[in-house]
């Protein structure tokens, strides 16, 4: 028996995909569980509001990713998860409803190219978050003081600070004059330009006047990174005001590298707590997990 299936049965949960009358593997089901939890936790932790989105690469097909169609993350359920082709961000179908395919899938986020182009460029990236988190916006809107890793839980920002994506710096070939200049990443060339902005050891790109994009090697990690990027931005701003200094006291390259290693041992502890806190609000519905505890191992 597949290990994930055994975990599922051991947890005493109804094997939900059978109830859907379709052959969905235990792997895909647990990925869906984590994706719904990720959407809900990002809202619970105030990283996303009505807007923003999280995705993961399909664990069963690395040419695809899973993300909801255009819906507030807090309201995501199994019936809003879509399988998209990475090649062109086109909907294949609803991941957990095989009767809804292709063009029958409700409209996706216009900015799904943020996700598709990051997956295309970085084969080792397995999860992506895009958000408008208020705390990071001041750092996206000026370039004299970069957002840096100031706290040991935010190595994702990197030792050189976070790069900034600014549509005003894009050539006419990427953003023609006759296209909308509304700061949204609405097509492959814009998504590609954003993906090309990642540099060095930073898992983060700030987007001027807009928000951020965070990449990660797992879904739980990218949620952890997003939360502590938000915390870090507050700490840096307060430390700057308190100390009257311009130059931030950043972790150095060695500290970033080592705290990144340590962070891998931290987010598995945070995850079940955040799931339970989100469950306790009563606001969110994870109909793939149905109130059970999350798996010990995650995506
Ligand atoms: C599920 O898979 C089994 C075995 O491969 C097959 O017999 C069955 O018809 C499949 N069911 C559906 C709904 O596709
Ligand atoms: C993987 O996904 C791609 C893009 O949707 C699709 O063309 C291909 O058939 C899939 N591979 C398998 C083995 O299902
Ligand atoms: C998207 O790309 C796939 C190949 O990965 C291709 O089969 C499909 O026709 C493309 N869809 C659109 C709408 O361009
Ligand atoms: C799957 O989609 C169809 C068509 O929208 C809908 O009638 C059906 O209720 C959906 N299945 C589930 C399990 O939600
Ligand atoms: C990124 O790396 C390049 C090449 O190693 C270096 O020149 C550049 O200063 C680095 N940028 C940051 C922000 O650390």
Atom of ligand 3 nearest to the CA of 88: 1
Is any atom of ligand 1 closer than 6 Å to the C-beta of 19?
A: no
Write the Ramachandran bin of 21: left for phi over 0, alpha for psi from -120 to 50, otherwise beta: left
Give the end-to-end CA distance of the chain in Å, rounded to a whole number: 20
Write phi, then psi, for 69 (nearest 5 degrees). -75, -175
**Count of CB atoms situated within 10 Å of the CB of 290:** 11
Instruction: Give the pLDDT means over successive 10-residue stretches in the chain (299 positions).
Output: 38 45 87 98 98 98 98 98 98 96 97 98 98 98 95 95 97 96 97 96 96 97 98 96 85 95 92 97 96 90
Distance of alpha carbon 120 from alpha carbon 108, whole angstroms: 18
Identify the pLDDT of residue 247.
Answer: 83
Q: Looking at ligand 2, which residue's alpha carbon is closest to its atom 5? A: 85
Ligand 5 geometric centre to CA of 204 (Å): 14
CB of 88 closer than 6 angstroms to any ligand 3 atom: yes
- Kindly report the number of other CB atoms within 10 A of residue 179's CB atom: 13
Q: How far is the CA of 161 from the centre of ligand 5 (A)?
A: 10
DSSP bridge partners of 84: 65, 91
Q: Which atom of ligand 2 is nearest to the CA of 86?
A: 4
Rounded distance, CA 177 to CA 191, Å?
A: 17
User: Contact at 8 Å (CB) between 164 and 143?
Assistant: yes
Cβ of 79 less than 6 Å from ligand 4: yes
Residue having the nearest C-alpha atom to atom 11 of ligand 2: 61
pTM (2 d.p.) = 0.91
Count of all residues that appear for the chain in the document: 299
CATH number of this structure's domain 26-271: 3.40.225.10
pLDDT at 187: 97
Say how many Å lie between the CA of residue 120 and the centre of ligand 3. 14
Cα 231 to ligand 4 centre (Å): 40
């Amino acid at each position: 028996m597949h290990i994930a299936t055994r975990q599922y049965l051991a947890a005493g949960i109804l094997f939900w995909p059978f109830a859907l009358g379709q052959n969905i593997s235990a792997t895909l089901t647990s990925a869906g569980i984590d994706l719904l939890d990720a959407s809900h936790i990002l809202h619970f932790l105030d990283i996303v509001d009505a807007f923003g989105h999280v995705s993961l690469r399909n664990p069963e097909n690395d040419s695809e990713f899973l993300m909801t169609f255009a819906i507030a993350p807090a309201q995501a359920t199994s019936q809003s998860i879509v399988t998209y082709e990475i090649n062109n961000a086109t909907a294949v179908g609803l991941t957990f409803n095989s009767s809804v395919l292709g063009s029958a899938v409700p409209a996706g986020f216009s900015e799904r190219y943020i996700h598709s182009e990051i997956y295309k460029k970085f084969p080792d990236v397995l999860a992506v978050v895009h958000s408008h988190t208020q705390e990071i916006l001041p750092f996206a809107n000026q370039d004299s003081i970069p957002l840096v890793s100031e706290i040991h839980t935010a190595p994702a920002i990197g030792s050189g600070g976070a790069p900034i994506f600014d549509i005003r710096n894009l050539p006419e070939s990427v953003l023609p004059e006759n296209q909308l200049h509304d700061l949204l990443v609405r097509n492959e060339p814009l998504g590609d330009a954003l993906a090309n902005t990642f540099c060095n050891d930073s898992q983060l790109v700030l987007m001027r006047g807009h928000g951020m994009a965070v990449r990660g090697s797992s879904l739980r990690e990218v949620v952890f990174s997003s939360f502590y990027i938000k915390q870090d931005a507050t700490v840096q701003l307060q430390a700057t005001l308190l100390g009257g200094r311009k130059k931030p006291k950043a972790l150095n390259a060695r500290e970033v590298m080592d705290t990144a290693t340590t962070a891998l041992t931290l987010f598995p502890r945070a995850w079940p707590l955040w799931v339970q806190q989100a469950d306790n609000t009563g606001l969110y519905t994870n109909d793939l997990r149905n109130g059970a505890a999350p798996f010990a191992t995650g995506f």
